[in-house]
Amino acid sequence: MAGFKETPRQKMISMMYLVLTALLALNVSKEMLDAFIVVNESVELTNENFNQKLDETYMAFDKKYQNNQNKVRPYWEKAKEAKSLSNEMASYVDQIKWELISRAEKISVDSAKTVAVADLRNKDDYSTPTNYFMLGSEDGSKGEGKELKRRIDEYRQNMLNLLDTNDRAKIKLGLNTDGKYQDADGLSLNWIQYNFFHTIMAADITILNKIVSEVYNAEFDVINFLMDDIDAEDFKYDKIEAKILPNTNYVFLGDKYEAEIIVAAYSTTQNPEVFLMEGVDSLAENQISRAIPIEGKEGMVKISLPGETVGIKKYAGIVRVKGGVGDINTYYFNDEYVVAEPSLTVSAKKMNVFYLGVDNPVAISVPGIAEESISPSISAGTLKRDPESDDWIVNISGGQRETIISVKATIDGQERDMGSKTFRIKKLPSPVALIANKNEGLINRNILVAAGAIIPKMPDDFEFDLTYRITSFKMTLQRGLDVWSDKSNNNRLTEDMIRQITSANRGQKVWFENIIARGPDNIDRPLAPIILTIN
């Protein structure tokens, strides 16, 4: 039995173990032990493979360090510290494993280092391991298990401290000793009790080798995270866009526009070095000293070349980009553009006139000039930006037959006249009054009643989306010599109108007249009457 005072429950478990051992056939007990041996050999093989992978990873890390020592040094120093911490932790676990074998087998520690688990005589001994890890304490607070847990916790925290704060939340380092553990009866156990209380030596050795495996796994993950942090600062393509490369940006009447469409990838986190020279077809490396350096922003470099004279202008340059291990990649480019006299484009978006009292949308642009550099003005009315688009809004109040829009543009800090255009001014057209989508002809009384209201409709060829409102109308109905009429102060039929229509006979005429509509210009205008015949 264990070398400490046992609780009644522990004594009962010990007695049950003795009874079970006596009852089990010898071949079953041997198979159980052989299973631990197989698992342990698998774990030891895994540890050897981990060592090989770690060596390969450190070789790749060292190569990055040799290529760019200034950049990689902080990460390389942390990698070496991770290796030192892991070696120290693995050595400690191996040492207590050999100490355990030495005590159980009653051999020296040096001999314990060389003996295989399959050759141990006391593989099923649980008393010596339990006493070694728990030293007479019920919760393991006095044995080697306490020190092992402390070192695991310390190692885990030290490895996490090597990583960036954001990486710590991403990595699954393992080696957790604060989990919830239970025995077969569902009673809570701590990490030491769960792993080493009444555990046979073959299982203890397997558990210790598994801890070494977790140490190597943690080291491998930390090293790879450190390498990823290096690469995170390297040049990477994080933006992909379609780009158009035209043969020329200016095409004369009768010519063809030709261009190449490519997919371009670039990094918004690194600004390349760019050198540019005007008036040449190409730029050689030995000409860089005479070229113009250009600074970029968010991975993009914008060039600004003056158009001082009319004609075709050429330019060429070199782009330098730093690669993943500090090497410089060089790319050459060239292009040309056309400088021409300015021209003005002003067009009404709906029609070639402006209407009184409404917002008339207008597109104003000057080819080759940025919108923010354009300053339009109007001779009669108001002109302002449309807050919902890139257009302009013209509003004419009245009293004028035409208005002129003039445009100026700021070019190289100077304001230049771009031209002007004259527009006619007209009143808004009147809508057509309809009820049940009719303004004349035969109609069923039920359809007329169901329609219930007069609707103003703009002509089909009118492009503006305007709304008129019927403010009043009069309905007249004749029965023989009697004439009945009623007035509505909105667009809807009154109750009396509905009763008259319901009781109307076939062939009777219904007049809707004195129809008044109010438009967005707040002007009331009479509409043509509606004359219908009940069928």
Please tell me whether residues 42 and 170 are part of one structural domain. Answer: yes
Please tell me whether residues 183 and 292 are part of one structural domain. Answer: no
Please tell me whether residues 411 and 470 are part of one structural domain. Answer: no
What gap in Å lies between CA 106 and CA 123, rounded to an integer?
A: 13
Please tell me whether residues 99 and 228 are part of one structural domain. Answer: yes
Please tell me whether residues 132 and 94 are part of one structural domain. Answer: yes
Unique residue bearing structure tokens 């558990």: 207
**pLDDT value at residue 245:** 64
Last residue of some domain: 380, 399, 426? 426
Please tell me whether residues 20 and 65 are part of one structural domain. Answer: yes
Query: Quick check: is 397 in a domain?
Result: yes
Please tell me whether residues 170 and 295 are part of one structural domain. Answer: no
Query: Quick check: is 1 in a domain?
Result: no
Please tell me whether residues 376 and 479 are part of one structural domain. Answer: no
Region 478-507: mean pLDDT is: 90
* CATH assignment at residue 352: 2.60.40.10
Q: What percent of the chain has pLDDT over 70?
A: 81
Query: Quick check: is 317 in a domain?
Result: yes
Please tell me whether residues 180 and 272 are part of one structural domain. Answer: no
**pLDDT value at residue 304:** 76
Region 71-91: mean pLDDT is: 90
- Per the structure, the count of domains in the chain is 4
User: Is 0.75 surpassed by the pTM of this model?
Assistant: no
What gap in Å lies between CA 305 and CA 332, rounded to an integer?
A: 18
Region 303-313: mean pLDDT is: 74
Last residue of some domain: 204, 232, 260? 232
Query: Quick check: is 2 in a domain?
Result: no
Structural domain boundaries, residue 448:
432-534
Last residue of some domain: 271, 305, 339? 339
Region 523-530: mean pLDDT is: 92
Query: Quick check: is 3 in a domain?
Result: no
205-219 burial, b if ≥16 CB within 10 A, otherwise e?
A: bbbbbbbbbbbbbbb
Query: Quick check: is 220 in a domain?
Result: yes
What gap in Å lies between CA 409 and CA 407, rounded to an integer?
A: 7
Q: Band the pLDDT of 512: cuts 50, 70, 90.
A: very high
Beta-sheet pairing, 239-246 with 259-266: antiparallel
Is the pLDDT score of 18 beyond 60? no
Please tell me whether residues 129 and 17 are part of one structural domain. Answer: yes
Query: Quick check: is 187 in a domain?
Result: yes
What gap in Å lies between CA 178 and CA 188, rounded to an integer?
A: 12
Beta-sheet pairing, 292-294 with 328-339: unpaired
Q: Which of 117-131, 228-242, 280-294, 456-470 shows the lowest mean pLDDT across its residues? A: 228-242
Query: Quick check: is 454 in a domain?
Result: yes
**pLDDT value at residue 67:** 79
Instruction: Give tens-digit pLDDT for 460-481.
Output: 877 777 889 999 999 999 877 7
Please tell me whether residues 213 and 256 are part of one structural domain. Answer: no
What gap in Å lies between CA 499 and CA 354, rounded to an integer?
A: 45
Beta-sheet pairing, 469-479 with 482-488: antiparallel
Q: Which of 375-384, 477-486, 508-517 shows the lowest mean pLDDT across its residues? A: 477-486
Instruction: Give tens-digit pLDDT for 265-275.
Output: 666 666 778 88
Mutual angle of helices 144-161 and 201-232, in 10-degree steps: 10
Beta-sheet pairing, 440-443 with 530-534: parallel
Please tell me whether residues 252 and 283 are part of one structural domain. Answer: yes
Structure tokens at 444: 């069923």
